[in-house]
Amino acid sequence: MSGRHTVYLTAGAETDLADIHGWIAAHRSPEQADAFLDLMLAKVESLETFPDRGGVPAELDALGIREFRQLVAPPYRLIYRVIVDHVFVLLVADGRRDFQALLERRLLSA
């Protein structure tokens, strides 16, 4: 798929980014927090031209759910969904968390 897509950060993803940024700033340094945010926003922006670049999260693939994709910046995972020419970033979280439960709660319980 080529061309430009419109990328949307959901309220949940915006909250995730703000929470992680705040945690890194408080427990590491403001510079590391800003570097994290810059990296994640660059990944989000890359979805405008390369929305299909991410793989299907293994936790969802095992359930036969393949409409969600992910980009990884260890240890963080960015989960998104492509619908026609729109990309919806749904979740940003530390991949060391119980990701199965997090995905079920945030993506599958709607």
pLDDT of residue 1 exceeding 50: no
Coil, strand or helix at 20: helix
Which CATH number does 6-108 carry? 3.30.2310.20
CA angle 97, 10, 25 (to 5 degrees): 55
Angle between helices 30-46 and 11-27 (to 10 degrees): 150
| pLDDT tens digits for range 7-25 | 999 999 999 999 999 999 9
Prior bond to 75 cis, omega within 30? yes
pTM of the entire predicted model: 0.91
Residue 10 phi, psi dihedral angles, 5° rounding: -70, 165
What are the residue ranges spanned by the domains of the chain?
6-108
| pLDDT tens digits for range 39-93 | 999 999 999 999 999 999 999 999 899 999 999 999 999 999 999 999 999 999 9
